[in-house]
Structures are given as C-alpha cells and as structure tokens.
Amino acid sequence: MNSPYLRRRITNALAMLLSTLATLVGLAFLAWILWETLRRGISALDLKLFTKITAYGEDGGLANAMVGSLIINFIGIAIATPIGVLAGTWLAEYANRTKLGESIRFLNDILLSAPSIVMGLFVYTIIVLPSTALTHGSTSFSGFAGGVALALIALPVIVRTTDEMLRLVPSTLREAALSLGVPQWKLTLQILIRAARSGIITGVLLALARISGETAPLLFTAFGNNYMAINPIEKMSSLPQIIYQYANDPGDAMHALAWAGAFVITMFVLLLSLGSRLILSRTKVSHD
C-alpha cells in the first residue's frame, strides 16, 4: 500500500471517529442535564408543592407560581394563536411571492430568534409604564403584561408553522374549490385551514413549549407575587421566575424547591414537544 493512500485512509478514519465522538459529547451533555434535573427534581417532589404558596418560603410550595404560569401562558397563547394563524395564512395564501410578503416572512424568521429580554422591555414600555401612569401607580406589573410578552415570543413560531403547513396543502384543493365559485376567504377558512389543521395545532403546541420555559421576558412584566393571584391585572408569579429567585437564594431548601420547579417545567416542555412531534409524524403518514 503506498503512503498517500494510507494517509487518506487514516485521515478518513480519524474524521469518522471525531464526528462520532462529537455526537457522543452532545448526547452526553443531554443525558447529564436531564439526569440531574430528574434526580434532584424527583427527590424534591412533595404534595405541598401543589397545595402551598411561595409566601411560606422554605415550608411553602409552588402553587401560586404554577397557577400564575398557567394563566400567563394561556394569555400568551390566546393572543398569539389568532394573530399568528391569520398572519401565516396571509403569507401563504395572499402574499406568497409578493415583495411585502417575502419581507415579512424574512423578518418573522428574525423575530423567531430575537433576544427575549428585549421583548420583555418592549412590553414593559408599552404596557407596564402606561398602566402605572394611568392608574397613578396602583397597577403596574401584571400577569396580562407577562402574557403579552410571551405572545410576542410565541407569535413568530405560530406564523411560521401556519405558513409552512398551508403551503404543503396541494393546490388542486384550491383549484377545485375556486372552480366551484367559492370565494377565496371561504376557501381559506373552511377548506385550507381545515386541511392544515393538525400542522397548525402542532405549531401552537411548539409555541407553548417555547414560552413555558421563558423567564427573561417575565421579570419586568409579570414581575412575581408571593401570594395567589388569579386576576391578570395583578402582579403574578410564574414557575421560571420563582426558579430564578430561589436558585439565587443561599438556602438549600430553596434550591430543592427550585429543582422541583425545574423538573415540572422540563417534563411539561418535553412532553409537549414529543406530543407535537407525534401529531406531525402521524399526519405525514396519513397524507402519503
């Protein structure tokens, strides 16, 4: 065997080895992070997490934070879903290949990875500051403001999936409906969105998974509240915000509570993304 040939084989073997190693490194970190979250989270699980509020500190639970998270996420999704679906529909059905449509599709992709803390400050400026000024300081931070901040983060995810899913709908469906004289708005609402329904739902679930772990945009909008708050115009705590607060606390009992919260969020997010992937893979099969 001559030497350049040998050298090429060795280079090749080395590259293959390194790429396998890189994959193992990635998987190892995934396993490490999940393992620690599971181990420390499960050992801190306790019924009081769900029954007591954070006002009791070490002896308390996370009930108000969980309720707060549910309410804020619900507001976020309730705002982002209709706007996102309609905007995505516009991109796919009305503005496909127009200049404005292309630019908005492009900017939506940028919004998808824009820093979430800046979105928090934006909502602080447009909702928290005016509401403080209008009510002379009696309301300022609110669960509603937190929901709007999360809606801004969920919006681009929903727009993008709706857009992509509608463009997957075969154009024969559109042609068939149009040839029967169906107006385009009826075609869009009653046929196309229905055909792309499962894909759009997946997008909403993915958006929910994305926002339920978000912390930074909530710090200056929903702020936090050690007592149970149901009314969205009050300050509201959320799981990520409590985790942030407790992890920075010196006490070990607080750390255990933070791990329990981290475990709850991680499970929720992983189940959501697994579930949405299942929906997606099932529909893909049924289309074939």
Partner 1 sequence: MPVVDIAPSILEQRSRRDARHERLFRWLLKGCALIVLAALLGAAGATLWGGRDAFATFGWHFLVSSEWDPGNDVYGALVPVYGTIVTSLIALLIAVPISFGIALYLSEVAPAWLRTPVASAIELLAGIPSIIYGMWGLFIFAPFFADHIKPWLTSNLGNKPDDGKLSWVAQHVPFVGKLFGSDYPFGASILVAGIVLAIMVIPFISSVMREVFQTVPTRLKESAYALGSSTWEVSWDIVLPYTRSAVIGGIFLGLGRALGETMAVTFVLGNAMHLSASLLDPGTSIASTIANQFSEASGLQKSALMALAFLLFVVTFIVLLIARLMLRRLASKEGR
Among 51, 125, 135, 231, binds partner 1 (CB under 8 A): 125
Binding mask 227-266 for partner 1 (x = CB under 8 A): -------------x--xx--x-------x--xx--x--xx
Binding mask 93-122 for partner 1 (x = CB under 8 A): xxx-----x--x-xxxxxx-xxxxxxx-xx
The pair of structure tokens assigned to 76 is 């976020």
Please report how close the Cβ of residue 193 comes to partner 1 at its closest, in angstroms.
12
Among 12, 51, 135, 190, binds partner 1 (CB under 8 A): 12
| Angle of helix 239-247 versus helix 252-287 axis, rounded to 10 | 140
Neighbours of 217 (CB within 10 A): 29
| DSSP code at position 52 | S
Q: Which stretch binds partner 1 (CB under 8 A): 52-60, 66-74, 184-192, 228-236?
A: 184-192
Strands (E), 149-248: none
Inter-residue contact 110 to 159 (CB < 8 Å): no
Asked if 175 is part of the footprint of partner 1 (rule: CB under 8 A), the reply reads no
Name the amino acid, one letter, at 34: L
Phi, psi values for residue 183, rounded to 5°: -65, 155
DSSP per-residue codes, 103-116:
HHHHHHHHHHTS-H
Residues numbered 152 to 171 that lie near partner 1 (CB under 8 A) are 152, 155-156, 159
Asked if 183 is part of the footprint of partner 1 (rule: CB under 8 A), the reply reads yes
Q: For partner 1, which is the closer residue by CB, 173 or 278?
A: 278
How many amino acids of this chain bind partner 1 (CB under 8 A)? 84
